[in-house]
Amino acid sequence: MLSLNLPPYAPKVIEKNGKRLIFDPIRLKYIRLTPEEWVRQHFVHYLINSKGYPAGFVGNEITIHLNRTTKRCDTVVYNSFLKPLMILEYKAPHVTINQAVFEQIARYNRVLQVRYLIVSNGLEHICCKIDFEKQSYSFLSDIPHYTELNSPDF
């Protein structure tokens, strides 16, 4: 698979019935290895090992209900009270991050009302912080450490 703009790690990859699978330590099972899943596993590894995110507070493929439809957030990060703090949306490395991707994650945020949104294709990572009081958002230059998500201004 493609080298990403994330710290390297050695994922568990196997082949079963002619399909490549990658182990997801969050869901504790092997998942079909797609380019998007490759990005997800690398990014979650980065969050846990470089940014201090507790693995127990990270959920992959979280189902939400939006306008009478069922959607899935690629990853949701929670606090110790299981309140959502962040939504992450992944795309395959060849997919350009554009306005449509942000509109997708913004729709999910109508349900979860988190302060942090991240979109990544593994090569480019874009993080924004939502200010609900001012009804604005700002792009961050770096992915925040987990301790910053629970700051007093949250």
Residue 6 domain-assigned (yes or no): no
Nearest partner of 54 among 22, 78, 27, 30, judged by Cα: 78
> Given this model, what pLDDT does residue 2 score?
83
pLDDT of residue 152: 53
Q: Structural domain of residue 30, as residue ranges?
A: 13-149
Instruction: Please report the pLDDT score of residue 150 as a whole number.
Output: 74
- Of 67, 47, 69, give the one whose Cα is nearest residue 59: 47
Domain assignment of residue 88, yes or no: yes
Residue 114 lies in a domain: yes
pLDDT tens-digit profile, the chain (154 residues): 689 999 999 999 999 999 999 999 999 999 999 999 999 999 999 999 999 999 999 999 999 998 899 999 999 999 999 999 999 999 999 999 998 988 889 999 999 999 999 999 999 999 999 998 998 899 999 999 999 987 655 3
Number of domains in the chain: 1
Residue 1 lies in a domain: no
Q: Is 3 part of any domain?
A: no
CATH (domain of 43): 3.90.1570.30
Distance, in Å, from the CA atom of 54 to the CA atom of 78, rounded to the nearest integer, reads 9
Q: Which ranges in 82-132 belong to alpha helices (H)? A: 99-112
Question: Is residue 154 in some structural domain?
Answer: no
Q: 64 in a domain, yes or no?
A: yes
In a domain, 49, yes or no: yes
